[in-house]
Amino acid sequence: MPDTEHRTMVLERARHWDDLSQTKPGDQATVASALEHVAALTNAGLFYEARQVCTDLLFDFQPLLIARPTLLQQFTAALRGCKAEHLLRRLTIAVNGELV
């Protein structure tokens, strides 16, 4: 069962982070473009390279990914597509506060 207090805390931090205008206007476009690149790499069978892009996205844009449900959903699909189970597990722990 997800720890709802942890999830609420993470979402509030992400919203607060976004409210402080720490995101640049092009950040969402950057993430969307990177996700398209991950899809292209995955379709080409370049899973290692796709996972590297996903790693960069996770560490550089985690608050934005969590604050934007659509981006989070796309990112999760990208992680599954490039077989990045360890990154998906880390993301799940960060969002839900529990092991999967």
Token pair, residue 75, equals: 């990112």
User: Which tens digit of pLDDT belongs to each residue from 50-83?
Assistant: 999 999 999 889 888 888 889 999 999 999 999 9
CB-CB contact of 17 with 63 (8 Å) = yes
What are the residue ranges spanned by the domains of the chain?
Answer: 4-96
Cα separation, 58 vs 88, in Å, equals 10
* % the chain with pLDDT above 90: 44
* Whole-structure pTM value: 0.71
Q: What is the pLDDT of residue 78?
A: 95
